[in-house]
């Protein structure tokens, strides 16, 4: 028994060593080893990369096997603006206030009283400024400087390939807010160019709710990591238009999440995400992990098509 514990300890130490050195050039075998450990801890069942069935498993498979260069462009929060402009039109873009290579280049005096700072290769790496007079500029610069470090590229945290070759930048966008003070984030899950379901993020800065709906806007009876809101979210008047735009942006892609905001009935593009939650967010009940997984068709990719 003692020897077994020693082997288990050494096995876990190997994982910790690889994880904390993950940005130093691991082999694919080591990357898969890390992912399988992360997956079991966070999702609760073993990851099957050879024959993926669930939504979370198929997201992990796509990380290793779908290397379309378009993903890098669309995951880049700055470069994707050109793609959106070409596919659906510039009018859907949140106004850009500036772009910089490092935080010391930012002229904060030239920015309006409210704005949002983002790192173009990140997820959740945002500084939302509602009142510039209360912003600690030095702290903001330090946070941005840290986010731009190579090891903070999402490729190294969860082997999210599409971020690997994005040149890091800081962008500032106009601050968006609905009349009620919240900002609903409509996240469309697009499978083979077709929207089949979506979820809406609400009360983002307090309790943070996720509400899932099917294509016909029927509320779905499950949650993924976050709780559902008490009463759900009313269907927006421009819902069908958002579906149409999401499908245009997702043309030719096996799977992507396309995000929009709706402010005073005007639609704004948010981002495109290829590995929602990194493929590490559990479903409750777990059967929905497999129901959504059935919607991602990997067969053409496994046969070498649609590369």
Q: Could you state, in order of their start, the residue ranges of all structural domains in the chain?
A: 2-47, 66-92+178-295, 95-175
- Residue 307: is its pLDDT beyond 60? no
Tokens of 248: 């245009």
pTM of the model: 0.91
| Phi and psi angles of residue 265, each rounded to the nearest 5 degrees, phi first | 70, 10
CATH 3.30.470 holds for 66-92+178-295: yes
Q: 11-34: per-residue pLDDT in tens? A: 454 555 555 565 567 788 888 988
Question: What confidence category does residue 1 fall into, taking pLDDT thresholds of 50, 70 and 90?
Answer: very low
Q: 217-246: per-residue pLDDT in tens? A: 999 999 999 999 999 999 999 999 999 999
pLDDT of residue 179: 52
């Amino acid at each position: 028994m003692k020897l077994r514990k020693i082997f288990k300890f050494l096995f876990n130490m190997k994982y910790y060593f690889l994880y904390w050195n993950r940005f130093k050039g691991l082999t694919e075998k080591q990357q898969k080893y890390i992912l399988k450990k992360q997956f079991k801890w966070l999702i609760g069942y073993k990851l099957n990369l050879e024959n993926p069935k669930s939504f979370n498993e198929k997201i992990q498979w796509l990380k290793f096997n779908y290397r379309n260069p378009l993903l890098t462009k669309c995951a880049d929060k700055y470069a994707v603006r050109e793609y959106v402009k070409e596919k659906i039109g510039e009018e859907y873009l949140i106004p850009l206030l500036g772009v910089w290579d490092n935080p010391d280049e930012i002229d904060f005096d030239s920015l309006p009283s409210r704005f949002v700072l983002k790192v173009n290769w990140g997820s959740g790496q945002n500084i939302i400024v509602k009142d510039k007079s209360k912003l600690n500029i030095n702290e903001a610069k330090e946070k941005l400087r840290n986010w731009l470090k190579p090891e903070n590229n999402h490729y190294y945290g969860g082997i999210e390939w599409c971020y690997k070759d994005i040149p890091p930048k800081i962008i500032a966008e106009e601050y968006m807010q609905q009349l009620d003070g919240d900002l609903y984030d409509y996240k469309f899950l697009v499978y083979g160019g077709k929207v089949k379901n979506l979820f809406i993020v609400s009360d983002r800065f307090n309790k943070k709710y996720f509400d899932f709906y099917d294509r016909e806007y029927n509320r779905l009876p499950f949650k993924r990591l976050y709780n559902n809101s008490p009463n759900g979210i009313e269907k927006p008047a421009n819902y069908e238009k958002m579906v149409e735009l999401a499908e245009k942006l997702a043309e030719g892609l096996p799977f992507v999440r396309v995000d929009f905001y709706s402010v005073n009935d005007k639609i704004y593009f948010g981002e495109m995400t290829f590995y929602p939650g990194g493929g590490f967010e559990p479903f409750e009940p777990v059967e929905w992990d497999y129901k959504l997984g059935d919607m991602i068709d990997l067969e053409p990719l496994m046969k070498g098509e649609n590369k």
